[in-house]
Structure 1
Amino acid sequence: MWRVKPLDAILATAEKKSLHRSLGAFQLTMLGIGAIIGTGIFVLTAEAAQKAGPGMIAAFVIAGFVCAVAALCYSEMSAMVPVSGSAYTYSYAVMGEMVAWMVGWALILEYAVAAGAVSVGWSGYVVGLIENAFGIDIPNALVLGPMDGGIVNLPAAAIALVVTALLVVGTRESAAVNAFLVTIKVAALTLFCVLALPVIKMENFEPFAPLGMAGISAAAASIFFAYVGFDAVSTAAEETKNPQRNMPIGLIGSLGVCTIFYILVASGVIGTVGAQPVMDAAGHGLRPGSPEMTAACGALSADHVVCSKEALAWTLRKIGWTQIGNLLGLAAGLALPSVILMMMFGQTRIFFVMSRDGLLPEVLSKVHPKFKTPHVITIITGVFVSAFAAFFPVGVLADISNSGTLFAFAMVAIAVLVLRRTDPDRKRPFRTPAVMLVAPLAAAGCIYLFFSLSKETQLLFVIWAAIGLVVYFLYGFRHSHMARGIVEVPELSPDAPPESVPPMPGAPPPGSH
């Protein structure tokens, strides 16, 4: 289970595929901003306010810093191993098959559960838009999950299934459409800042940390979700001019711009409508997404930003910009499905690579004869994402997603250190600066945020990891291509013939399923 997939095997065809190096620091920064600004800031602002109050401003800074050091480690690996599979492939090359399997298994949480969270966030904005623009009152039973006081979130489930159908047919948005949607998101948030910041009241920032440092840490662990996407910059290493200089500028630049943006948006919410958490009788903050929180919000007539499912649009309506609030809801409704699509695409790609390595049944990497997409795994993923979206609140899904992401990023940070020791002479187009400081900081930061998640989320992650180990030892351990003595390089050249090597001791002979 410690067998590694040789880096040379992974890279054999990468050298034949040379991309034109055209991206400078500015283009990388813009790419990063487009990938990062998405669901988190639209959807999780109310969640962060309930956990930290005005202290969510500090939570954005903490989460941004952890992302920055993790991003520098991620960049070294992605520049050195520029193939599909993300952290899973990097781990396979450095720390062995079992760790790679666990990282791939954790990435299922990152992508599939996150897609469910975005679907729920989309539902909140679209339902709010319909109710406010057309004066229609939609029953909560049909637009909220059981933990939020409803029965099933039908719009969230529906958008997940629509995106699944698009992925099966093979409709991936073009760069032009994606750029348009990024512009909509940035314009909506900029307009929010322009309208909200001039009317903030400083007294709304007191007390700054009503639930102390524990509340700020918990909010940072949730708000981490708002930064995921920076790895889009990391994966562009092959196309970057002077990557050693421009990659850190692009990564830190995009994270810096987004952090400032997020702080301005958070300040606009806090300063205009207040963001103090709803407390229980003992003075403890109620857990977002819990039945107790739902009941408390019902008693408050939802007249509190922490009770809103569309915090930014709700805030604009509260300060007198009703139609602009509706427009912001429309912007979220238009832009968020593209985020769901990219997350589900990422999920199917991870499954596809794991299946192609023999760690999952090969039927999962079947490609549709007409659409040329991995339809089996796309449909399975879509059904699960739709179920998550239908029955769970956004905050719970975001936290579960973060647990998988934090584990994967911590493993990448460790992999960078291991590979510096075991293979110091390998060509590294980008080298993590001050690696002996940055990599341990990244790993420690991810672990710190993981333990700032709720106990239930940590327990769910442990259960998920245990299920993953059972699946690995029942299937992947014996059926993986490495176990059966097959080394192939399918990532970049699907036509390359497999190359046989002696099988592992104790492994079943090739072909014995």
Structure 2
Amino acid sequence: MPGSPANPFRIKSPELLVAEAGADLAGHGLKRHMGLFQLVCFGVGAIVGTGIFVGLSDSVAQAGPAVVVSFLLAALTCVFTAFAFAELGGAIPVSGSSYSFAYAGLGEGTAFLVGWCLLLEYGVSVSAVAVGWSQYVNELLASLTGWQLPAALSAGPGDGGVINLPAVIVIALASVLLVRGVRESARATAAMAVLKLAILVAFCAIGFTAFKHGNLTPFTPAGLGGIGAGTTAAFFSYIGFDAITTAGEEAKNPRRNIPIAILVCIGLVTVLYCAVALAAIGAIGGPAVGGRPAALSYVVNQVTGSTVGGGVIAFGAVVAIASVVLAVMYGQTRILMSMSRDGLVPRVFERVSPKTATPVSGTLIVAVVFAVPAAFSSLDAVVNLCTIGTLATMAVVNVAVIALRRREPGLARSFRVPLYPVMPLLGVGFCLYLMYETGWTTWVQFAAFLAAGCLVYAFYGRRRSRLVSAPVTADDAVAERQAV
């Protein structure tokens, strides 16, 4: 039975977070299957997808050839926060990611709102990514058979259709793979990550054969304002790198491997994005790329004079975006698992199947809930809301680094943010700037979303919180939770 309402400012110690995770590993069946290579592939799988295959055209429409600068600025924002995630992911290797870091650094109320915002980054973004997937499914069908799905079955009402059936299918396929087990999911993610990196490298090779310097002028057709707007659009391409920290309880040697995987992913993806943008614009010009659906396939078709190359790119995009759905759904289920342990969301999300060692019920619920907006929404309707929610959680993680440095100076840290406290403060500043660039309409939507989260916490989470204060051993922590 729920007790008296909890104090929203109370802290959950890093020791208790790790102890509870250790107890669940011992008693509930989560297994450590993911090594460094799998973590890097998981990160690439979570990042590289809709943002570059679909969103590139929107970024180019805003910034023109200066989209390269936009990608670098978006990457800089991520790098500052990547350092923060690397420090906290190594010090507190649990499944909760930003939610757990906020709980340890800033208290329960903030942690709940961070978890609430992660519904945007991990949950709603699944819908957005799935919508982008259907664009390239049609492109692939056209190149292979000359036939496409009718608009009524491949787009939501906002895009002139009735239901986006491919978007629902990719979410269903990802959920089936996730409930089979982490080992299988990790292998599939690794294979898809390697394939899509190879496809993008091939795209760059083709695009640079037709590169013309004149296509890069004027470099900043919309000025600094265009670069700023392009940076906000480009940031969506990086969403997901923090998903690596949600594998804290299923990673081998997480204190070492998680920080390395995060930093490797950001560096690799930034180089790749800038190269793809330069190859696309240099080949056919910014105006031809900007605002065009399935832009990368179009570029290859124009350069080669054939639809074969575009079909290969479309196949790569189908694989790439499917891997993002898989990785991001994984992250969402693990965050809900951590929140469920604390009583802040229903207990169904913490149940792990003894047969598959995965949260089967939680995964299926997530799949059903986010298949609905994927079926009936447009990509543009949710991108900015996903972006602002992600930026808000990233800002909180930077603040949590500062708070924990002050409160827990003796905490074992396998990685430490360099140039502390300058780096986390710059991370907060860059996040706030990009949040500002999303526009007032997005801010209004985000404010309403946060208000709804406050109500859910006040009337549900705060009254059902199961945070314990005394035990720090694994056995005591689990026994305390089960007694509530």
Matches within 5 A, 1:251-400: 251-276=262-287, 304-319=288-303, 320-367=305-352, 373-400=358-385
1:79–1:430 Cα contact (<8 Å) kept: yes
Structure 1 or 2, whichever has the larger Rg, is 1
1:478-507 per-position Cα deviation (integer Å, ceiling 9, x unaligned): 11013xx577779x779942279xxxxxxx
Identity of aligned residues (%): 37
Aligned CA distance change for structure 1 residues 247 and 126 (closer, same or farther; 3 Å): closer
- TM-score normalized by the length of structure 2: 0.86
Is the deviation greater in 47-56 or in 149-158? 149-158
Code of the residue aligned with 2:137 in structure 1: it is V
Which deviates further from its counterpart, 144-153 or 458-467? 144-153
How far, CA to CA, are the matches of 1:11 and 1:407 in structure 2? 25
Give the gaps of 5 or more residues in structure 1.
277-303, 501-509
- For 1:504, the equivalent position in structure 2 comes to none
The SS at the match of 2:9 is: coil
Mapped partners of 1:161, 1:27: distance in 2 = 23
Q: Structure 1 pair 3/260, CA: closer, same or farther in 2 (3 Å)?
A: same
Instruction: Judge conservation of contact 2:181–2:357 (CA < 8 Å) in 1.
Output: yes
> Residue 451 of structure 2: SS of its match in structure 1?
helix
The 1:458–1:172 alpha-carbon spacing in structure 2 relative to 1, beyond 3 Å, is farther
Contact 1:400 1:460 in 2 (8 A): yes
Q: RMSD in angstroms over aligned alpha carbons?
A: 3.3
Displacement of 1:456 in angstroms is 2.5
5+ residue gaps, structure 2, are: 1-7
Deviation of the 1:322 alpha carbon: 1.6
Q: Equivalent residue for 1:173?
A: 184
Give the match for residue 106 of structure 2: 95
> For 2:113 and 2:267, how far apart are their aligned partners in 1?
31
Work out whether 1:216 is the aligned partner of 2:227: yes
Q: Once the 2 structures are TM-superposed, how far is the Cα of residue 101 of structure 1 from its aligned partner?
A: 0.2
Match of 1:4, SS state, is coil
One-letter amino acid of the counterpart of residue 139, structure 2: G
CA distance in structure 2 between the partners assigned to 1:499 and 1:437 by the alignment: 39
1:6 equivalent in alignment to 2:18:
no
Cα pair 1:481 1:487 within 8 Å, conserved: no
Instruction: Check whether the contact 1:486–1:499 (CA below 8 A) recurs between aligned residues.
Output: no
- What's the TM-score once normalised by structure 1's chain length? 0.82
CA contact 1:192–1:265 (8 Å) conserved in 2: yes
> 1:160 & 1:29 partners in 2: Cα distance?
22
Matches within 5 A, 1:62-141: 62-141=73-152
Residue range with higher mean Cα deviation, 256-265 or 171-180: 171-180
Residue 479 of structure 2: aligned partner: 497
Which deviations, in whole Å up to 9, do the C-alpha atoms of 1:108-149 show, x marking residues without a partner? 100011111221121111111112321114332322223323
Partners of 2:174 and 2:19 in 1: how far apart?
A: 35
Q: Which one of 197, 202, 206 corresponds to residue 186 of structure 1?
A: 197
Moved more, 466-475 or 146-155: 146-155
1:15-36 Cα distance to aligned partner (Å, 9 max, x none): 898999x988x99877755654
Partner of 2:466: helix, strand, or coil? coil
CA deviation map 1:327-366 (0-9, x unaligned):
1111222332222112112111211221221112224434
CA deviation vs aligned residue, 1:196-228 (integer Å, no higher than 9, x gap):
112122222222222222222222122222223
One-letter amino acid of the structure 2 residue matched with residue 271 of structure 1: G
How many positions carry a matched residue from both structures? 468
1:241, CA displacement in angstroms?
10
CA distance in 1, matches of 2:253, 2:182: 27
Moved more, 93-102 or 345-354: 345-354
